[in-house]
Chains A and B, each alone.
Chain A
Amino acid sequence: VSQKNVEFGAVDRWFPLDLELGPDETAKLLTEQFRPRRRSKVFRAFVELVASMPAQILQLESDGVTMVQAWTLLGGDGSELDPIAVAWACTVPHPAGCTPGEFVDVLLPDVSPEGDLRLYQPMDLQPLDTPLGQAHRLRARFASDTPHGLVVREAIRIFWLFPGEEVALVFQVPPLDDLPLAADVAGALTELAEHTRPV
């Protein structure tokens, strides 16, 4: 699995971010693509924020995890630069013959019933039919204690395990503490997965 043999389709509210472009090039692309309908100060701040995302996402590469593609989710109908979430596609290595349930442990290694990070509600793992084959969507809410009280975040992943391979394709967003937003993002990410096909 790599960028070469997977095609990510275009979905209205997801604006693709090229991981190979630098912040200045991304900013230029954004100002060409969007008109500032909000106050220009806010628009410039949004451009700067989105342009800084590819570099931040590339920093998350580790232990064989390779970034393939990134997107930002836009609010409203996606016609304005109003970023409400960010997502990326990456490849994640796993043991041969790994089941979807076992792969969840690979994705969320820190979650345990007694640990600092524990499940707040039962995990939701659903199969998903896509042009690229069967995928699974994981939604897991986990809780952690902070000096100022409980924090609950939702992790969202969509992943494809390919028979005979030891690398999975994963769509991912950062953990979200705004759960209504997480529901919106999960729906949008599912749509993105349904537009992902083999080349």
Chain B
Amino acid sequence: MTRTVLYPGPRAGLRWREGRFWRIEARPDGSVTEHDHRGRSRTVAKPGEIARVVLVPAARTGRRATNLLPIGDVFALFGDADRLLRAVSVESIGLGYRREFAPEMLIRDRSGIADIALALGLALEPATDTEIAAVRGRRRHITDGPLSDRLRRLRALHVVLLPLLCAAWALSLAADQPGPTTPWKAATLLVATASALALSLTEATAAITFARRPPIPAPSNATMVPSVAALTDPTAKAWAKTGVLYISPDDVVLDEHGTEMWLPGPSRGGVVTCLITTDALHFVDRRSTRLLSLPVQMWTLGHDDHHALSAACEKAGIEVVTSNDYGDLPERVLALYIDESASPMLEQGIYAWTLPSISDHGSPLIVTPIFTGLIGMLIAAEGLLGVLPADDPAKSTALEVVALVGGLITVGAFTVFVYIRQAMNRALGRGEGRLGEKT
């Protein structure tokens, strides 16, 4: 069947909920529903409401409409009279391929946006000038995923707030005498402090949620296929030995190395073939696009000994094909692109490809929020010194409270930080290893 659900693919670090739950689904009645990272659903378009399904090329997306980052091609749903219903960056639903490694055409193929247009009875069209203007016209509405957007905004707020808070603190210290005791100053201090603390807490909560990531809720009809790396390769890394595939008609899920990758299964028009070659295992869709490639020795005991995997695939309705030669190129007559991403994936597993790095805005990095929170507290203390008269008995009590809360924030933040590091190491299967260490 034609693809009916768009998946984000792998999401690292704090964004794991997005990979597991965020979906855009074309229903049989012609409506479109979006499931967010909390599993809540909302109707994007009612039956018959979608008039056009378009692609805005990367060169014309414009930075204003994104989160100020260049994000490549954009997939957009329009109602009548050029009414924009939803705009999504294609890379964010490209099942993990990044523009640095793969051509836009390949990412587009992997995303399934052309198929979802067919499922809606339409066709994916290039956007007209009016439609491009509609997509470019509104600020920050092209989504990378609900949680990715939120985390990026949060990080941006920290970056803006931190120097502002530092400046406010430095200015108040530099003043010869305590500032005037005006309600205006008190209110400013309160707002600055409260927002800094709120940001710190939000980020810490997100980090804790990540560290407490619950196991994948395997559907009852899914078959679990554990990695056999421990048997086939005694020197295999710990994470390679603990990898698991869940295969069901709805989803094919890879849980490996602290990262989840969800792919649409055959009932959603995703994976239809499992191709076992001499060196690789490919989950392939109906257009012969390889959605996931894995090293074959991690999942089968040998090229001719793949009973567990084949049984799981066949039960889910995925055809198993073994081949002694698949070559480097996707199997298409006159196929005109090269799948550049597959080889690094095969060499290093999903690890190098999706590991949360410092630059990944989904990584649980809470150093910035700690500083924002602490400086917020310092401003509060400094402000209280200025606002309250010198002989006010409430002053010392207030300062004690500020000092106590500040101390708790510091201790709490560092505790969370250590906890996250340990949780990350556990998730990455490194045992005694340290975060950031090359395996």
Contact = CB atoms under 8 A, between A and B. Distances in A.
Interface of A: 38-39, 41-42, 45-46, 49, 53, 56, 75, 82-86, 120-121, 141, 146, 148-152, 174, 177-181, 183-184
B114 A177 contact: yes
Interface of B: 1-2, 55, 57, 103, 105, 108-109, 114-115, 118, 123-126, 269, 272, 286-287, 328-329, 333-334, 336-338, 340, 343
A177 B287 contact: yes
Contacts of B55: 180
B286 A45 contact: no
B337 A84 contact: yes
A184 B126 CA distance: 9
A179 B123 contact: yes
B124 A86 contact: no
B126 A183 contact: yes
B290 to A, nearest CB: 15
B126 A150 contact: no
Instruction: State the main secondary structure of chain A at its contact with B.
Output: mixed
Contacts of A56: 334
Contacts of A177: 114, 287
13 contacts: A46-B338, A49-B336, A49-B338, A53-B334, A82-B103, A84-B336, A149-B269, A174-B333, A174-B334, A178-B109, A179-B123, A180-B57, A180-B108
A134 B334 CA distance: 30
Nearest to B53: A179
Given A150-B118, A152-B118, A183-B126, 19 more contacts: A42-B338, A46-B338, A49-B329, A56-B334, A75-B103, A83-B336, A85-B336, A141-B123, A148-B1, A148-B269, A148-B286, A149-B1, A149-B118, A151-B287, A177-B287, A179-B124, A179-B125, A183-B125, A184-B126
A150 to B, nearest CB: 5
Given A49-B329, A148-B1, A179 B103 contact: no
Contacts of A180: 55, 57, 108, 124-126
Contacts of B124: 179-180
Contacts of B105: 84, 178, 181
Contacts of A178: 105, 108-109, 114
Contacts of A46: 338
Most buried by B among A75, A120, A141, A178: A178
Nearest to A48: B329
A120 B117 CA distance: 13
B126 A86 contact: no
A86 B333 CA distance: 12
Contacts of B2: 149-150
A84 B115 CA distance: 20
A156 to B, nearest CB: 14
Contacts of A179: 114, 123-126
A118 to B, nearest CB: 14
A53 B272 CA distance: 29
Contacts of A84: 105, 336-337
Contacts of B340: 38-39, 42
